[in-house]
Amino acid sequence: QPVALALATPAVPAAAPAPVMVAAAEPVVAPAPTPIAVAETAPVAPAVVPVAASPAMVAAVTFGPRREVVQPLPAPLIRADGPAKVSLAAFVKARAAQPVSKAAAGEWHVQLGAFANAGGARNAWGRISHRFASVGGHVPQGASYKAGSDALYRLSVGGFDHGGADRLCRSVRAGGGTCFVRRAAGDQVAQWARGGVQVASR
């Protein structure tokens, strides 16, 4: 029976545990930041060095007495219509004023031509010396010789070594003249050139 009673007795529900009261946590308040006082920097003004203003020194300008400036006028230009013409007679006359030196002592001559007589050689010398300045600076020489039955007068300039005579003859040929180099053969200073006097060719 007791067992039956025990079975018949309704079970008493277990008492629910009493709620535990937990104290609410206080909110954590972050500490306010402590303000930091920043010292204000005063603006630095640029240092100004006072400079004493000195009065400008102006040099005194002294003017001299006024003078009139006169400029010479340019010389008038003479326009030449053509190349200056120099007559052969004037050229020979000018050369006559120059003293004629003695012929050089070299044995080589430059023969400039052979003519019927000394007069022909003199006229030829006036033309050749006028045309070739390299020849005109020397003393004209001449020598008579026979070519068969004909008597000729040879016109030359001499007193060179072989190289000098050859160079002079080449310069004459380059200018269109004729000549050749030979040894001395009785050549003497031309009669019309002796004493520093030359006769103008006609």
The residues spanned by each domain of the chain are 106-196
CA separation, residue 182 to residues 82, 166, 179, 202 (Å): 41, 10, 10, 29
- Identify which of 52-61, 76-85, 109-118 has the greatest average pLDDT: 109-118
Instruction: Reduce the DSSP state of residue 193 to 3 states and report it.
Output: helix
Q: Pull the structure tokens for residue 167.
A: 């160079």
Whether residue 111 contacts residue 164, with contact meaning beta carbons closer than 8 Å, is answered with no
Asked if the model's pLDDT at residue 161 lies above 80, the reply is yes
User: Which of these CATH numbers, 3.90.226.30, 3.30.1330.10, 3.30.70.1070, 3.90.1150.10, describes 106-196?
Assistant: 3.30.70.1070
Residue 156 has pLDDT above 80, yes or no: yes
What pLDDT, on the 0 to 100 scale, is given for residue 197?
43
Predicted local confidence at residue 195, as pLDDT: 64
Per-residue confidence band for 193, with pLDDT thresholds at 50, 70 and 90: confident
- Residue 136 · residue 198 · CB < 8 Å: no
The total number of residues written for the chain in this structure: 202
What is the CA 77 to chain-centroid distance, rounded? Answer: 31
Q: Quick one: pLDDT at residue 198?
A: 45
**Taking residues 175-192, what's their average pLDDT?**
93
Residue appearing with tokens 């204000």: 40
Q: What secondary structure letter does DSSP report for 153?
A: E
Note the pLDDT of residue 116.
Answer: 93
Higher pLDDT, 168 or 31: 168
d(CA 22, CA 193): 161
CA distance 81 to 126: 27
pLDDT for position 175: 93
